[in-house]
A = this chain, B = another copy of it.
Amino acid sequence: MGRFMDVALSEAQAAASRGEVPIGAVVVKDGAIIARAGNETRALNDITAHAEILAIRRASQFLCDERLTGADLYVTLEPCTMCAAAISFARIRRLYYGAEDPKGGGVHHGARFYAQPTCHHAPEVYTGIGEVESAELLKEFFAKRR
């Protein structure tokens, strides 16, 4: 699990070097990475181009299936509400995330989407892997922007 989060962290780092908010994600199926992405909202002029959305979209292209049943998603930061819902729609089996996001998270904060009656599939959620590295990347990025 640590090695998959390491790849997500390297995607986050790559995003930072492009001037994007440093968040990275990978989708894993049967022990192999089938998609990886960093944030690309600025490059794509697309506010929905969060790392998770791009990784899910790429994994669906790879599998030719809009549902990623049995796949796991690793992301460096707690998914926002938009991404939490997309992860549910894609039928992700397990969600592993690094740092918590009290201001924008939608899993353990705010909308807590997986606990809503309108959520029809909830992944198993595991937290804390890569938490320190992920938080550090974000802190550095926003400190530089100020």
Contact = CB atoms under 8 A, between A and B. Distances in A.
Contact of A60 (B45, B60, B84, B86): B45
A47 B103 contact: no
Contacts of A120: 104
A57 B66 contact: no
Q: How many copies does the complex hold?
A: 2
Given A81-B81, A110-B119, A116-B111, A56 B47 contact: yes
Contact of A65 (B45, B56, B105): B45
A48 B89 CA distance: 8
Given A41-B66, A66-B42, A66-B46, A117 B113 contact: no
B110 A118 contact: yes
A64 interface: yes
24 contacts: A41-B66, A45-B60, A45-B61, A45-B64, A45-B66, A46-B66, A47-B66, A47-B86, A47-B89, A47-B90, A48-B53, A48-B56, A48-B86, A80-B85, A81-B84, A81-B85, A81-B113, A82-B85, A85-B111, A104-B118, A106-B111, A106-B118, A110-B113, A111-B113
